[in-house]
């Protein structure tokens, strides 16, 4: 009985398919059944749609994370390059100023670079990358693009030690560029300060005066900027004034320096010779 029903249903289905294929009689019935079955078909497709959506979302998220990592790495590289370009630009400006300074000098000069700074907090000394192989000698004046920086106190084949004018063991004869008043500018141990020693209260020295090397003593050549007076104080009851000045050279920033040569190596009296560190 059951098999007969199946046979009848199959035959009926085949007959309906044949009729639908050759005639349009069943078109209204198909439209109605389509409307009736559409919610069920849509519901049946929901799981598949959700699986596809989650899959696409996961893939898109992974792609976005990967792209974000790539962009972050590229941004870091570009920022590093920009920083390097800024450093190169600053170095280029310094070298240009140094070139302009060297063109104004009448003597032969040698360009050198700072290798290291003495870590001793009580010493203002640096190491440069030129030595005896480059004809550097003890007592040789060292300048940057802005003024006198110091003198060579120790020479090795390929490097030298420079005592800067701010070191407490250093002193240099100077004169006021405005009127020629002479004085001695001694280092205080601070990179931004020199002290003029034994200056009479009556000396014509004013804030803003430019101090240049006087050439006395034979260590430094005459006429190079040394410092600018920042304070003049006359102390009652004392014969000498308290005068401080700011070095013209950029002692804490200059990386490229000039070693100044003369026809003969200077011979300096003992009172102006810097103490050699042991």
Cβ 206 vs Cβ 229: under 8 Å: yes
Give the global pTM: 0.61
User: In terms of Cα–Cα distance, which of 242, 214, 210 is closest to 228?
Assistant: 210
Per residue in 81-101, is it b (16+ CB within 10 Å) or e — as a string?
eeeeeeeeeeeeebeebbeeb
pLDDT > 70 fraction of the chain, expressed in percent and rounded:
65
| Confidence band for 64, pLDDT divided at 50, 70 and 90 | confident
Q: What is the pLDDT of residue 268?
A: 40
Q: Of the segments 38-47, 80-89, 101-110, 175-184, which one has the largest average pLDDT value?
A: 175-184
Evaluate if residue 16 carries a pLDDT over 90.
no
**pLDDT grade for 186, boundaries at 50, 70 and 90:** very high
Position 269 scores a pLDDT of: 36
Query: What is the structure's pLDDT at 277?
Result: 38
Model confidence at 267, in pLDDT bands (50, 70, 90)?
very low
Closest CA to 241 of 229, 255, 249: 229
Residue 95 host element (H or E): helix 27-104
> Running DSSP on this structure, what letter comes out for residue 273?
P
d(CA 63, CA 60): 5
Report all structural domains of the chain as residue ranges with CATH numbers, in order of start.
Answer: 1-104 (no CATH), 109-269 (2.40.10.340)
């Amino acid at each position: 009985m059951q098999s007969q029903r199946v046979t009848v249903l199959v035959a009926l289905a085949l007959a309906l398919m044949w009729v639908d294929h050759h005639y349009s009689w069943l078109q209204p019935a198909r439209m109605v059944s389509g409307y009736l079955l559409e919610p069920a078909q849509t519901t049946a497709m929901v799981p598949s749609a959700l699986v596809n959506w989650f899959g696409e979302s996961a893939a898109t998220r992974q792609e976005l994370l990967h792209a974000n990592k790539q962009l972050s790495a590229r941004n870091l590289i570009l920022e590093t390059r920009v920083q390097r370009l800024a450093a190169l630009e600053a170095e280029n400006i310094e070298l240009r100023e140094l070139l302009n300074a060297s063109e104004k000098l009448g003597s032969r000069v040698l360009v050198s670079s700072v290798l290291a700074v003495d870590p001793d907090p009580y010493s203002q000394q640096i190491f440069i990358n030129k030595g005896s192989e480059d004809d550097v000698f003890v007592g040789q004046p060292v300048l940057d693009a802005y003024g006198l920086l110091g003198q060579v106190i120790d020479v090795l084949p390929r490097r030298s030690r420079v005592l800067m004018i701010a070191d407490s063991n250093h002193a240099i004869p100077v004169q006021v560029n405005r009127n020629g008043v002479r004085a001695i500018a001694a280092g205080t141990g601070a990179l931004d300060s020199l002290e003029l020693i034994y200056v009479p209260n009556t000396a014509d020295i004013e804030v803003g005066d430019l101090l240049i090397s006087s050439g006395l003593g034979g260590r430094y050549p005459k006429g190079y900027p040394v410092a600018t007076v920042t304070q003049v104080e006359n102390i009652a009851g004392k014969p000498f004034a308290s005068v401080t000045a700011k070095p013209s050279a950029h002692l804490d920033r200059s990386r490229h320096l000039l070693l100044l040569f003369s026809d003969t190596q200077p011979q300096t009296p003992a009172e102006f010779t810097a103490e050699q560190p042991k």
